Amino acid sequence: MLHVATIAAIVDQHAEDAAFLWLRRRREIDGPLLDETEIGRIDQRLEANLEGLMAAGKAGWEAALARFGDYPEPGELFVLGALALRWGEAALVASAIEAGIGVGKTGISSLSAAIARAPRDNLRPFVAKWLDARDAWPRALGLSALWHHRVDPGPRLLDLAGHSDAIVRSRAIRLAGALKRRDLLPTVLTGLDGEAPGERLTAAVAACMLGETRSAHRVIDQIVMTESGLVEAAIEIRLLTTPTKIGKQWLRKHLEQPARRVAATASVGLFGDHAVMPWLIEKMREPDLASAAGASLRDLFEVDFGDTDLFVVDPALLGNDFADLDDGPLPVANRVQAWWDEGRGGRSHRPFRSMRRLRLGALHAALATPETPLADWRSTRSFPAWM
């Protein structure tokens, strides 16, 4: 790390902007609003700020460290991890990991994102040591490196999938599913009986990837019934691995249950059946279902709804019953009705594949063929930030 002349205010701004941009990227990376080009613009700006910190040398690291000291949050931790791994200095990497432990579980996610952006050559000196570490945190980070770069660790994955720590187990089982390691299916099925709901859902997704949907569906159905925080993710994988006719019957039961009808409504678009549009438009008139109906609308059409007037940011524009909602852009039922009646959706718009659509496409492809590993849908198009 070099000592170079710098302007403190500019270096501090780089640290602040990098943390902010990564947080925005994390919020949108699997969502329905941006596509790979728009995420690519964020990436360009993020990269420019990280490069600014790198160019500042020791001052850049100290600025990032000072900001983390003031704001020990995920975004600031990501910046520390990204810088440490790019410099490749063991002491800095150890410092970032120690900072992550202080942040808690979200710290692993931040450092995992830093690992995703690190060149493979920079990771090589660390990953083997992380996987051999006694503590769970380094092992989890080692598995993050394998996940992001889709590297198969061979026989070692079996031991990691049976680790005593749930975080390590879950990450190993997720990797086993993505890489289609059918030799690990017995261990994956054991994970269906894990203590935490999140661990059971991870194992269920991996089991589906490995073709064992029958055992997985039993666990998924239980999670849908009992775990409100996981219900949307559970419904999604259930519908993606269920024949359409049976899936519609299954979802219809949950649409009738007050506790699950919001999540179920948000999943209707996964079938890709435009015949549901009249029903969906009526749900947009109900304040408690409007956001969910809007989510399904985005799944039904490859349209950039940001180029239309079908959604509004201010819920109060929809009437007094909607004024207290805080669910982001909401669909305007009358406008959607007119748009649907006029062109049956999207004919005059350029094709738009959101990051969510890319993720669903990768899942569809991996689930359809036993030998096809799960592709990295998060690779984005490099695009100048000023365009």
Give percent of the chain with pLDDT exceeding 70.
95
Start-end of H helices in 56-165: 58-70, 74-87, 90-103, 105-117, 120-132, 136-148, 156-161
**β-sheet bridge partners, residue 311:** 331
Structure tokens at 297: 């609308």
Rg (CA), the chain: 22
Give residue-wise pLDDT tens across range 146-165. 999 999 999 999 999 999 99
Give residue-wise pLDDT tens across range 56-73. 999 999 999 999 999 999
Local structure of 150: helix, strand or coil:
coil
Determine the pLDDT at residue 385.
43
**In whole angstroms, what is the distance from residue 53 CA to residue 86 CA?**
11
Query: In the structure, what pLDDT confidence band is assigned to residue 378 with cuts at 50, 70 and 90?
Result: confident
Report whether 311 contacts 330 (CB < 8 A): yes
Q: Considering only CA atoms, which of 221, 298, 301 is closest in space to residue 267?
A: 298
Q: Considering only CA atoms, which of 19, 37, 33, 22 is closest in space to residue 385?
A: 37
The residue ranking higher by pLDDT, 1 or 152, is 152
**Cβ of 213: how many Cβ atoms within 10 Å?**
19
**Torsion angle in degrees (nearest 10) through CA of 274, 279, 285, 291:** -50
CA 203 from chain center: how many Å? 17
Determine the pLDDT at residue 351.
87
**Cβ of 380: how many Cβ atoms within 10 Å?**
21
HSE, CB side, 13 Å, CA atoms: give it for residue 88.
8
Query: In the structure, what pLDDT confidence band is assigned to residue 47 with cuts at 50, 70 and 90?
Result: very high
Determine the pLDDT at residue 42.
94
35-39, 180-184, 249-253: the lowest-pLDDT one: 35-39
**In whole angstroms, what is the distance from residue 84 CA to residue 246 CA?**
50
Q: Considering only CA atoms, which of 198, 196, 155 is closest in space to residue 174?
A: 198
HSE, CB side, 13 Å, CA atoms: give it for residue 228.
6
All structural domains of the chain, each given as residue ranges with its CATH number in brackets, are 1-149 (no CATH), 152-242 (1.25.10), 254-344+354-365 (no CATH)
Determine the pLDDT at residue 349.
73
The residue ranking higher by pLDDT, 370 or 50, is 50
Global model pTM greater than 0.75: yes
Report whether 283 contacts 336 (CB < 8 A): no
Give residue-wise pLDDT tens across range 108-130. 999 999 999 998 999 999 999 99
Mean pLDDT (the chain, rounded): 93
Determine the pLDDT at residue 346.
58
379, pLDDT greater than 80? no
**In whole angstroms, what is the distance from residue 123 CA to residue 362 CA?**
26
381, pLDDT greater than 90? no
Give residue-wise pLDDT tens across range 2-43. 565 468 899 999 999 999 999 999 999 999 999 998 999 999
386, pLDDT greater than 50? no
Determine the pLDDT at residue 380.
59
